[in-house]
Amino acid sequence: MASDLDTTPVIATRREEATGFFQRMVSKGLGWARKNSLWQYPYVTACCGMEYMSVSSARYDIARFGAEVPRFSPRQADLLLVVGTINCKQAPILKRVYEQMSEPKWVIAFGVCASSGGFYDNYATMQGIDRVIPVDVYIPGCPPRPEQVLDGLMLLQRKIQDQQHKLIDRAQVPTLAQGGGERR
């Protein structure tokens, strides 16, 4: 596993160096805190949900990774677990849920249906959720074994640790309305 302290970018400009040390410490601290307290929103639609039940209960125990709290309100969650098939009717809802989550947020595509449409290569099924929302980790398998899911979760944790975290992020987040989508 990559070192938890290994967050310094290889090429640093002067300006980054000037503000670097304090920011880096904050970033590391925030990364550590965030990766170990993922609150997930299980967007469960189909068969993979049965494996999700297994992952979250006693034997595989997702609580070991600090991700055991399912929140069914997108505003309280920072990890969107898309578990199962997303079809064309479901896709706008998924996008809405994703947009309602507050930053920082991450997405895991759980199972091949969410990753790529799986073997449902037909008129109804969306060929992967990355057509509507960005995805951080793809977990293959139909359904994936719980071990695979935990592996995917650990990958995400590593990714979170290596990201730059800021105390306040003033950059504006693009929303559906700005992207030319429907407005209400």
Q: What residue numbers does the annotated binding site for [4Fe-4S] cluster cover? A: 47-48, 113, 142
Token duo for residue 56: 């979250």
Q: Biggest alpha carbon distance in the chain?
A: 54
What's the CA gap between 23 and 130, in Å, rounded?
31
Say which residues have a Cβ less than 8 Å from residue 26's Cβ, sequence separation at least 6: 165, 166, 167
Shorter beta-carbon distance to another protein: residue 14 or 89: 89
Query: Nearest distance from residue 133's CB to ligand SF4, in Å?
Result: 17
CA 58 vs. chain centroid, Å, equals 23
Shorter beta-carbon distance to another protein: residue 80 or 137: 80
What's the CA gap between 124 and 87, in Å, rounded?
6
112 contact, one of ligand SF4, another protein, none, CB 5-8 Å limit per kind: ligand SF4
Q: Can you tell me which of 142, 147, 166, 178 binds ligand SF4, judged by CB under 6 A? A: 142
Q: Can you tell me which of 7, 87, 148, 164 binds another protein, judged by CB under 8 A? A: 87
Q: Based on the number of CB atoms within 10 Å of its own CB, is 70 exposed (0-12), middle (13-18) or buried (19 or more)?
A: middle
Q: How far is CA 88 from CA 58, 93, 106, 112, in A?
A: 34, 10, 22, 16
Shorter beta-carbon distance to another protein: residue 31 or 42: 42
For position 21 contacting another protein by CB under 8 A, the verdict is no
For position 124 contacting ligand SF4 by CB under 6 A, the verdict is no
111 contact, one of ligand SF4, another protein, none, CB 5-8 Å limit per kind: ligand SF4
Pattern 139-178, binding to another protein, x per CB under 8 A? Answer: ---xx-x---------------------------------
What's the CA gap between 74 and 29, in Å, rounded?
24
Interface residues with another protein (CB under 8 A) are: 43-47, 49-51, 53-54, 57-59, 70, 72, 84-85, 87, 89-90, 93-94, 97, 119-120, 122-125, 142-143, 145
